[in-house]
Amino acid sequence: MNKDGGKGKGSKDGARGSRTAMMGTLLAGAFLALMAETFLNNALPTIMAEFHVSQSTAQWLSTSYLLVVGLMIPVSAWVFSNFRSKHTFIAMMAIFLTGSLVCIFSEGHFLLLLAGRIIQAVAAGSLMPFIQNVVLLLFPPDRRGAALGVVGLVVALGPTVGPTLSGFVLEHWSWRALFVLLAALSAVILVASFFLVYTVNHQVRTRLERAFRGIFLPRFRAHSLCPVRHRGRGWCVSA
């Protein structure tokens, strides 16, 4: 084996190892954010008693999280194209960590606890589309299917593990321990991202308003042009 061949093989193995480490870090962050969606469900009765709020009010801790996650998905495409992927992921994990810390120190203030959950959701809503975009650039075409399959597994597994893990934590500690755990894990992932995550995208400066315009305006126009549904048919006729 010649020298050039050996060097080429070694560089290829090194690139593959760094790519695997980066993907593992990204998936760990996504798993944590998705797990947080259902992580608080078992603690709602305790929170209701401590903060003296009704069930409908306490339920906003989960509802607001899902609502903000949905609102952040269109923004994630704009964020991915305008900022470096490494800086974006670091910022997302820092935002999630900040939200967890706000929840930990929300002593006696339900609105502060709700604000912390909303801050967490800002990062969570951007993570999954962000990781899918990174996969398309990080892996060659023949390996993208397997990589996207792993991402899909994380998407399904995160919310499923949340209630089970939170139930175990609540048996031994208070509901604040849930956010302590989220803060600790997000801090570890944040530190790891400085060393294991690198930039894979090229920045293209665009306006944020265009991201919303391209997604929502066609839907609004379609509904305005087709307000009446034909009887017995699955299509609309113009008014």
Q: What is the pLDDT of residues 107-135, one digit of tens each?
A: 878 999 999 999 999 998 888 888 888 88
When pLDDT is cut at 50, 70 and 90, the band that residue 84 belongs to is confident
Query: 11-62 pLDDT, tens per residue?
Result: 444 455 588 888 889 999 989 988 998 888 888 888 998 888 898 899 999 8
H or E stretch including 181?
Answer: helix 176-196
H or E stretch including 29?
Answer: helix 3-38
SS3 237: strand
Q: 137-156: string of b/e by CB count within 10 Å (b at 16+)?
A: ebbeeeeeeebeeebeebbe
Residue 198: phi and psi, rounded to 5, are -135, 165
219's CB contacts (< 8 A; 6+ apart) are none
